[in-house]
Amino acid sequence: MTNTDLTETFCEQIRDAEEKGTPLAITGGGSKMFYGRRPDINAISLDTTRHCGIISYEPSELVIQARSGTPLRDIETRLSDNNQMLAFEPPHFSENATLGGTIACGLSGPRRPYHGAARDFVLGTRVINGKGEPLHFGGQVMKNVAGYDVSRLMAGSLGTLGLIAEVSLKVLPRPACEYTLKQVCNQAEALRRFADWSGRPLPLSAACWYEDHLYLRLSGNEDGLRHAQHRLGDSLLESLPDWWDNLRDHKHPFFNRPDPLWRLSVPPATPPLAVKGDWFIDWGGAQRWLYSNDNPEQIRRLVTSIGGHATLFRNATERIEVFHPLPTPLLKLQQRIKRAMDPAGILNPGRLYPEL
């Protein structure tokens, strides 16, 4: 595997862009180009893929540290050779996904409700801010409360606050075995069952629903799983090795439509929402994928009223904002934070919100 440190080059490039006021588009593997708002048409591409390599990995410390351009699959292979994993199960969406893009997007896979999100596993970062200064926050240790938690702030910031140069992530042991249970039921019943089971000590590691079936993944040791299977009622035990990966990476046929795809993030026990459309429910009810012709503003109003938010995840049209509008005081605060990290506003401007 290649091992190259381009931190200095990036710093220079960013300093130069700051001086000239030229926007930069930070580009990883390009796997998540569909996601978020379009890069500024005047932006110069800053490619991170050659800035790569695993810097340190010690299984007994449960930490991996790598440069941002490192392919996600290289990281996962190294972990898997040692029976460990990224417990937030990051979506790849393509072979090219990089570690930097993964954290910048902050997306998490089916395991998220039971083990935590991408940001939860970030222990430290090296970040280059909009002034071209290399900065180090957090570290390699599990607990660290010195200074503000800038590292976790980077998760999901879509490269608008800084270029992520390195990331240290907490990793977890891989479970000894995994089963998938499948039960026949409608959406409302599935949501009720998810809420009930999530409040009980069960070895759940994923729960989704689609087309009158719910699917549960159980992770742990053989004995524990068999025991849990009995407690979860009549269900088929299926060998569905690809099911969860296909859901994670949107390879399931559901995701293969050219229409705008909504991602609704809602409190998990929310009953079925009164929106006509085609639903795929993940995260035990907390992440709901939807194709719908209903009025976008109406969808957003409904989701806001229950404490959630709605993203136009794929196939966004020009007319509709990708990310859920923020209340004015919060947007102003986020603008001030953007300015604190990137005073000239040159890093991925407009990728998250037009104002950031």
Partner 1 sequence: MDRNTFIAGLSDLPARCILKDEAELRPYECDGLSAYRRLPWLVLLPETIEQVQFILAYCHTHNVPVVARGAGTGLSGGALPLDNGVLLGLAKFSRIIDIDLPNRLARVQPGVRNLAITQAVAEHGLYYAPDPSSQIACSIGGNVAENAGGVHCLKYGLTVHNIAELKLITIEGELLTIGSPSLDSAGYDLLALLTGSEGLLGVIVEVTVRLLPAPEQAQVVLAAFDSVAAAGQAVADIISQGILPAGLELMDTLAVRAAEDFVHAGYPTDAAAILLCELDGEQHEVEVQIDKVTQLLQASGANEVRRARDEAERLRFWAGRKAAFPAVGRLSPDYYCMDGTIPRKHLGQVLSTIAQWSKAYGLPVANVFHAGDGNLHPLILYDANKPGELERTEEFGARILELCIAVGGTITGEHGVGMEKIDQMCVQFNEAELQQFHAIKQAFDANGLLNPGKAVPTLARCAEFGSMHVHHGELPFPELERF
Ligand X SMILES: Cc1cc2nc3c(=O)[nH]c(=O)nc-3n(C[C@H](O)[C@H](O)[C@H](O)COP(=O)(O)OP(=O)(O)OC[C@H]3O[C@@H](n4cnc5c(N)ncnc54)[C@H](O)[C@@H]3O)c2cc1C
Residues of this chain that bind ligand X (CB under 6 A)? 25-33, 36, 39, 41, 43, 45, 48, 68, 97-98, 100-101, 104-105, 158-159, 163-164, 348, 351
Read off the tokens for 41: 């048409």
Alpha carbons within 13 angstroms on the beta-carbon side of residue 131 total: 8
Among partner 1, ligand X, none, residue 331 binds (CB under 5-8 Å by kind) = partner 1
Radius of gyration of the chain (CA): 21
Our CB check for ligand X shows the closer of 98 and 205 to be 98
Closest by alpha carbon to 129, among 356, 333, 339, 335? 339
Can residue 326 be called a binding residue for partner 1 (CB under 8 A)? Answer: yes
Closest by alpha carbon to 250, among 102, 70, 32, 40? 32
Can residue 136 be called a binding residue for partner 1 (CB under 8 A)? Answer: yes
Our CB check for partner 1 shows the closer of 18 and 71 to be 18
Number of residues that bind partner 1 (CB under 8 A): 85
Can residue 4 be called a binding residue for partner 1 (CB under 8 A)? Answer: no
**Phi/psi of residue 207, each to 5°?**
-155, 120
Q: Are 346 and 17 in contact, with CB atoms under 8 Å apart? A: yes
Site for partner 1 in 199-238 (CB under 8 A): 199-203, 220-221, 223-224, 227-228
Site string for partner 1, 48-67 (x = CB under 8 A): ----------xxxxxx----
Can residue 149 be called a binding residue for partner 1 (CB under 8 A)? Answer: yes
Name the segment binding partner 1 (CB under 8 A); options: 70-78, 108-116, 180-188, 208-216: 108-116
3-class secondary-structure state, position 87: coil
Cα(228)–Cα(137) distance, integer angstroms:
41
The number of beta carbons lying within 10 Å of the beta carbon of residue 345 is: 19
Among partner 1, ligand X, none, residue 32 binds (CB under 5-8 Å by kind) = ligand X
Site string for partner 1, 162-201 (x = CB under 8 A): ----------xxx-x------------------x--xxxx
178 burial via Cβ count (<10 Å: 0-12, 13-18, 19+)? middle
- Kindly state the smallest distance separating residue 39's Cβ from partner 1, in Å: 19
Among partner 1, ligand X, none, residue 100 binds (CB under 5-8 Å by kind) = ligand X
DSSP code at position 217: E
